[in-house]
Amino acid sequence: MFPTLHLRRRSKWDHPTLLDHLWALSPLEALIARLYSFLLFFRGQPFYPPHNKPRIRVVCLSDTHDRIVSVPPGDLLIHAGDLTNSGTAADIQRQIDWLRGMPHRYKIVVCGNHDGWFDEAKRGMVDGSGDVVDLEGILFLQRTGVELTFFEGEEGRERKLKVWGAANIPRCGGDDVTFA
């Protein structure tokens, strides 16, 4: 006569029902979980790169702290902070020169908390020499982004990648140190 409404699972191996979720979680958590599942439906299928375009090999490293390490080959090299220990211009320049010598097409540097020379307010305290760092051939990202083109010129095989970099450099100051 009336359709059977299953408020509880018939066995523990069945999928949990709404009542099971309400029983196990708070009602608000259960409602948010159901809403989230519903919204995921509208997101669509996950993005898969096209089969007719070559892959981009990204190599990311960080925390080298003045060390020269072996780096696998790739198309894009990202150094995500802490090139050095002391953060002086001379130390940073040595690491930049090492990165510049890598065979990767693009090299990106995002500085970390040990790369003090990049913080203009701290530059005089870290490195009294006033030296500059030559970043030629390196893309330095500090709260900026860049769009990179790979495999250009090959018909139908061009790939683009957008990269955003946000540094973690503490500003220098007194007791009220804030982050840049």
CATH topology of domain 58-165: Purple Acid Phosphatase; chain A, domain 2 (3.60.21)
Closest by Cα among 127, 124, 95, 126 to 111: 95
Please give the backbone phi and psi of residue 101, each rounded to the nearest 5 degrees, phi first.
Answer: -80, -5
8 A C-beta contact, residue 30 and residue 20: no
Residues 50-91: tens digit of each pLDDT: 677 778 899 999 999 989 999 999 999 999 988 888 888 888
Domain residue ranges in the chain: 58-165
8 A C-beta contact, residue 114 and residue 88: no
Residues 102-146: tens digit of each pLDDT: 999 999 999 887 777 777 766 655 455 557 788 899 999 988 899
Kindly report the pTM of this predicted structure.
0.64
Closest by Cα among 8, 115, 2, 109 to 61: 109
